[in-house]
Amino acid sequence: MAQPDDRYFVTALARGMQILEAFSDERQQLSLTEAAARAGLEKSTAFRFIYTLEQLGYLERDPDTRLYRPSLKLLRLGLAALDGLEMVQVAQPLLKALSAHCGETTNMSVRDGPEIVYVARIKTQRILNVGLEIGSRLPVWCTSMGKAQLMDLSPAELRALLGEGPFPGSGPNAAADLQALLVDLEGVRRRGYAVNDEELAAGVRSVAAPVRDRGGAIVAAINISVPSARVSRQELDTRLAPMVRETASRISEALGAQLLPARR
């Protein structure tokens, strides 16, 4: 690189970039001491730049570990330092915020053929009588996250994936066969979100929205899961669905998706 012209070179900006470049695929979270050492700066100097970047929204600090990491705002700028962030790492803080906002359990899953696989789960202290953990698998046709990840598939693709049915027994309101699922998915596409109204199991409701990548493909889904005794179907649609759609949109945008304004 050519030597910079000192008349135009902004040293403070250069040092701020040194801080950002300290983060890498291998080290996506750093302490203040580690960031200063990797940037080649004194700790007091590094602190001022990290503080400024945090206030501007380009870095954030995990309140539990006290480690700094690049934020979603920085991810949207497409900086190379963030290329290694995995989808779950991108989604985790937003799922935590969603759970804190609504007071309910939030989840993220990816689709593996006719099943969804849980990849993130933020539990609350409220009891929800469903034994699910990271790695748990459930059918796509009777789960909100499953249906949210089926919404772009054609009837022919769905038939190849699931067959005509009848589908194995699950909750009392689950689609019994492909024709019933196709009718349900028409509503999912129209609303932009999917609902599980005691379809997986009696006593459980959830609402989900898809997560898209930079090419617009559905790569995951997130949901809010609630006991049906405490949250009505109407509340699921009016209060929780907008929250889950907004969070799914934010995750998608962080992954590079260009989303159209939500239809009302």
Total of domains in the chain: 2
pTM: 0.66
CB proximity list for 62: less than 8 A, separation 6 or greater: 29, 68, 69
Mean pLDDT of 101-123: 91
Token pair, residue 143, equals 């789960």
Confidence of residue 86 (pLDDT cuts 50, 70, 90): low
Extended strands (E) in 82-148? 105-112, 115-122, 137-139
Q: Tokens representing 58? A: 């380009």
CATH number at residue 51: 1.10.10.10
Query: pLDDT band for position 81 (50/70/90)?
Result: very low
160 and 241 co-located in one domain: yes
| Amino acid (1-letter code) at residue 219 | V
Q: Which of 63, 12, 18, 57 is nearest to 36 (CA)?
A: 18
Do 203 and 94 share a structural domain? yes
Percentage of residues in the chain having pLDDT higher than 70? 88
What does the pLDDT read at residue 159?
A: 95
> What pLDDT shows up at residue 23?
87
For residue 264, tell me if it sits in a domain: no
- Residue span of the structural domain in which 189 resides: 87-254
Distance, C-alpha 204 to centroid of its chain: 21
Torsion, CA 124, CA 125, CA 130, CA 134, rounded to 10: 50
pLDDT of the residue at 55: 92
pLDDT 10s digits, 200-250:
888 899 999 999 988 899 999 999 999 988 899 999 999 999 999 999 999
> Where a domain ends, among 24, 55, 82?
82
What are the DSSP E strand ranges found in the chain? 59-61, 68-70, 105-112, 115-122, 137-139, 194-197, 204-212, 218-227
For residue 120, give the CATH number of its domain.
Answer: 3.30.450.40
Task: Please check whether residues 93 and 219 belong to one and the same domain.
Answer: yes
